[in-house]
Amino acid sequence: MMLILLAFVPLASAQGLNQGMSAQGIPAQSTPSELDNVGIDQKLNAQVPLYLSFRDETGQSVTLQKYFNGKPVVLALVYYDCPMLCTEVLNGMTSALRKVNFDIGKEFQVVTVSFDPKETPQLAAAKKAVYLQRLGQPDAAKGWHFLTGPEDSIQKLTSAVGFRYEWDPKTQVFNHATAIMVLTPDGRVSKYFYGVQYQASDLRFGLIQASNNKIGTPVDKILLFCCKYNVSTGKYDLFVSRLLAIVGALTILVLGSFLFVMFRLGPKRNKSAEKVDSAKVA
């Protein structure tokens, strides 16, 4: 198995498109078994257990309550050794955080939690250093926290916010989807932002909404899943094969349309050229 590839799975929101769809918005009959227990369910207004114990990037034992000090919290669930998707989540979140025009640590907190119980505070500290440098806001160090913790705390937190993931022993990676969440100052889920790119204006509005203890409405989901390339079969697993088929069909359609237009315009151009030549001769 080679490294991870992406598959984009939009959830249909229009009326009548949900018939025959699974919980992830994929036709039920074609849902791969690898993703049966993977996804992100919207649990708006759900209470996060603030008593859960983790370790911060210095190795100090902390509870989530420490970060809920009257301000909203942006929560990102990743694992630091993820070969692709989690890095993209942190990259996208960093890009949005640079533009929200709120001070991290003063007006809101950011809490990044690894869902891999084997990861260490040292790894979390290294990750924090990288993203603080990318963020370019030195004062944000007091407001952006990178946590690790025991499996029990991780499972209770992920369950509370609807984050479902699974370890794949064959590929030695976690199968998971991607999103960040905004929580109210008292630890309730206010908003979900799916994917790996987040609009700063949307995130800003979400923070304002959460700071007033308001709960957002359900949003359309675009779930990104980790997929793998099987060297032995030469095929893309999960949704990648479906995605490539669609892209291939679109490419053929565009190319065919281009050729059709060119063939139709060719005779007209020739006739126009002949008329111009005739006019010159006359």
pLDDT tens sequence across 44-80: 999 999 999 999 999 999 999 999 999 999 999 999 9
* Whole-number average pLDDT of the chain: 80
Q: What is the pLDDT of residues 181-208, one digit of tens each?
A: 999 999 999 999 999 999 999 999 999 9
Crossing angle, helix 200-211 and helix 85-97, to 10 degrees? 80
Please tell me which residue, 263 or 207, carries the higher pLDDT value: 207
**Overall average pLDDT of the 246-269 stretch:** 63
Let me know: does 147 contact 114? Beta carbons within 8 Å. Answer: yes
Phi/psi for 273 (5° steps) reads -65, -40
- What is the separation, in whole angstroms, between the first and last Cα of the chain? 72
Determine how many CB atoms are found less than 10 A away from the CB of residue 241.
13
Residue 36 confidence (pLDDT): 77
Residue 270 has pLDDT above 90, yes or no: no
pLDDT band at 276 (very low <50, low <70, confident <90, very high): very low
Q: Which pTM value belongs to this model?
A: 0.73
193/72 Cα distance (integer angstroms): 15
The residue count of the chain comes to: 282
154/77 Cα distance (integer angstroms): 10
232/282 Cα distance (integer angstroms): 71
Determine how many CB atoms are found less than 10 A away from the CB of residue 36.
14
Let me know: does 70 contact 164? Beta carbons within 8 Å. Answer: no
